[in-house]
Structure 1
Amino acid sequence: MDLVHQADHAWVLNVQRKLYQWSQNYPTEAYRELWNWLTDLRNLREAWRRVAQNKGKRTPGIDGITAGSIRQRIG
C-alpha cells in the first residue's frame, strides 16, 4: 500500500468514526459537514480504489460503464 492510499484510508476511517460519534451524541442534528466530507478528494480516491478492486469491477454500472473503461479513457 502506498503512502497516499494509507493516508486516504486513515482519513476516511477517521471521518467514519466522527460521524458515528456525532450520530450517537446528537441523533436529531443535521450533518452540516457531510457534503464536504463526501466530496473531499481523499474520500473520492478511496472510493475509487474500493470500486476498482472489488469483484464487480468488470460489471457496468447504471450508466453502462465499467471501472476498466474509465481507466482506459481517463487514466
Structure 2
Amino acid sequence: MGKSGFVEPRAVVGTFWDFDTLSRLTPGAGHNDLRLKAEAGVTIGAAGGAKLQAGGGVEEGEPGAPNIWSGRLRLSVPMQ
C-alpha cells in the first residue's frame, strides 16, 4: 500500500443475553443463559478515498437451534 493506503483488521468476541432471557432472569441465572458472539473483518482503503469493508460473524443459537451466521461487504466512495 502507498503512503495514503491502509489496512484495518477487526475482531470481536463477546457474550450476550437475548431480551426474552433478560425478562426471565433470576438471581440464580448461570452461564447457561449466556450466548456467544464472534465477529471478524477487515477494511482496506485510501485516506480520503474509497474503502472496502468485509466482515462476518456467528452468534450461538438457542439450545436445539442452529447458530446464526452473517456476512457483510460494503464499498464506500466519497462524492467530491
The alignment's TM-score, normalised by the length of structure 2, stands at: 0.20
| Structure with more strand by fraction | 2
